[in-house]
Amino acid sequence: MCRQLRCAPNIWALHEWGNWLTPAGRGGRRYDTAFYLCCLRQRPHTAQDEREVTGFRWSSPSEAIECFKSQEMWFAPPQFYELCRLCNFSSLDALHRFGSDRALEGCERWMSVMLAASNGHIQLLPGDELYPEDPDYTGEKKMIWSTDKKVEDLMKEGSRLNRIVIKDLNRLAVYVNIQPKYKHINPILMDSSLIGNNEDCNSRL
């Protein structure tokens, strides 16, 4: 794309933000995806090649989550989690200062582990008290995590949380109370089914 558009990306403006690995055992392709932060004063020219990019839209984190809630768009749990992180920042300057300083620390690669409850699913993330000590990174163990307990009971019992509760495709809730590593910031605790009441999302990005 850079060759076609005769441009070169400003890699020094990119700051490492996160790294997510697709869980094993789901079939299909797996991705080791790095998330980068880039703060721009003006919206750049955007092109779609109908392969990697088939459409684009500029939105604030809160606007994107609202569109997710209304089923106008869909994104996977990692994107929802990271958008909730961005909701901590009320200005582009604040985000840029945090992102550029924090990027020097690096980041941890995360792979979620799915726990099937009797009435829903929970994606467990590193640091959660239910996250396995030896997660199945390759899929060779064919591990299936399930419980007869309800999601609500698991939430009440938990004291160290880093998880995403999945109610259905467009109803996710993030629960985090652990201390993040590498000087990162926890996401705003948010339930996509209650977006109108999530007043803590003060992002004006």
The pLDDT score that the predictor gives to residue 130 is: 96
pLDDT reading at 131 higher than 60: yes
pLDDT reading at 119 higher than 80: yes
Q: How many CB atoms lie within 10 A of CB 20?
A: 21
From 139-153, 163-177, 190-204, the region with the lowest mean pLDDT: 190-204
pLDDT reading at 7 higher than 90: no
Edge-first strand order for the sheet with 113-117 is 145-146, 113-117, 120-124, 162-168, 171-176
Q: How many CB atoms lie within 10 A of CB 139?
A: 13
The pLDDT score that the predictor gives to residue 144 is: 79
Q: How far is CA 25 from CA 96, 135, 139, 142, in A?
A: 37, 12, 5, 7
Q: CA nearest 77: which of 174, 159, 162? A: 174
pLDDT tens string 167-194: 888 899 999 999 999 999 999 987 776 5
Residue 54 pLDDT class (50, 70, 90 cuts) = confident
Strand-pair category, 109-111 with 15-21:
parallel
Question: Which two tokens mark 30?
Answer: 């797996």
The pLDDT score that the predictor gives to residue 195 is: 46
The CA distance from 105 to 108, in Å, is 10
Burial degree of 192 (CB within 10 A; 0-12, 13-18, 19+): buried
pLDDT reading at 56 higher than 90: no
Question: Which two tokens mark 69?
Answer: 């809630």
b/e map 94-112, b = 16+ CB within 10 Å = ebbebbeebbeeebeebbb
Helix, coil or strand: residue 170: coil
Residue 34 pLDDT class (50, 70, 90 cuts) = very high
Strand-pair category, 162-168 with 120-124:
antiparallel
Question: pTM here?
Answer: 0.87
The pLDDT score that the predictor gives to residue 41 is: 83
Mean pLDDT throughout 3-11? 71
pLDDT reading at 204 higher than 60: no
Q: What ranges do the domains of the chain cover? A: 13-39+59-176
pLDDT tens string 76-90: 999 999 999 999 999
The pLDDT score that the predictor gives to residue 3 is: 74
Tell me which residue has tokens 């996160």: 18
Mean pLDDT throughout 138-148? 84
Residue 203 pLDDT class (50, 70, 90 cuts) = low
